[in-house]
Structure formats: structure tokens, C-alpha cells
Amino acid sequence: MEEQTSQPVSANEKKKMGPHAISALIWGIFSIVTMVYFGWVASIIGFSQRSKGLRVYNENPGTYSEKTLNVLRTAKTLNLIGLIVSVVTTVLFLLVIVAAAM
């Protein structure tokens, strides 16, 4: 098996943002905004995008900027907040419906 060596990036080269980082962040924001309307689905998609982005970043970290990791961490936090609030809101909404039906 061949060992891959990452070549150092010169100071003149700009490092790019890792793939899936921005989409994970957008899904995290969307999960918080739509928490009443089943935002947990958006949160799960955001977690999926984050794991893809983290996997790609870890394969070749020299290619991507360190800002990518910050965006992925923020996406994780937003998706977690969106998931927790969405699940709690959905459960409360269902309890209100059940209580109203009795």
C-alpha cells in the first residue's frame, strides 16, 4: 500500500473551504428556524453533511483551511440545538393534541 504524503501549501496559495461544511451549517440554521415544523429532519441531514465534511477534511487536512473545522464545529452545535429543540417542540405539540382530544 502506498503512503500518501501531503505537500505543504505555499503561503501564496489560498486554502479552500472544505466540502459539505457550509451545507451542514445551513441545515443547522434551517433546523432551528423550522423547529416547530419538524426541524429534526433538517438537523439529521445537517449531521450527515457534517460527518461527510469531517471525513473529507481528515483525509487531506493540508488542502483545506482551518476555518473549515470551525464551521463544522458550529454546524454540530447548531444541529444539536435544532435537534433537541425540535424534538421537545414536537413532543409538546403532540401532547397538546392528545390532551385536546380527551
Total Cβ atoms within 10 A of residue 35: 22
Helix (H, G, I), strand (E, B) or coil at 64: strand
Model confidence at 12, in pLDDT bands (50, 70, 90)?
very low
Predicted local confidence at residue 35, as pLDDT: 77
Share of the chain above pLDDT 70, in %: 87
The per-residue pLDDT for range 80-91, each reduced to its tens digit, is: 999 999 989 889
The per-residue pLDDT for range 28-41, each reduced to its tens digit, is: 999 988 877 778 89
Dist. CA 48–CA 83, nearest whole Å: 13
Bridge-partner residues for 27, per DSSP?
none
The per-residue pLDDT for range 32-82, each reduced to its tens digit, is: 888 777 788 999 999 999 999 999 999 998 899 989 999 999 999 999 999
Predicted local confidence at residue 3, as pLDDT: 57
Dist. CA 83–CA 69, nearest whole Å: 21
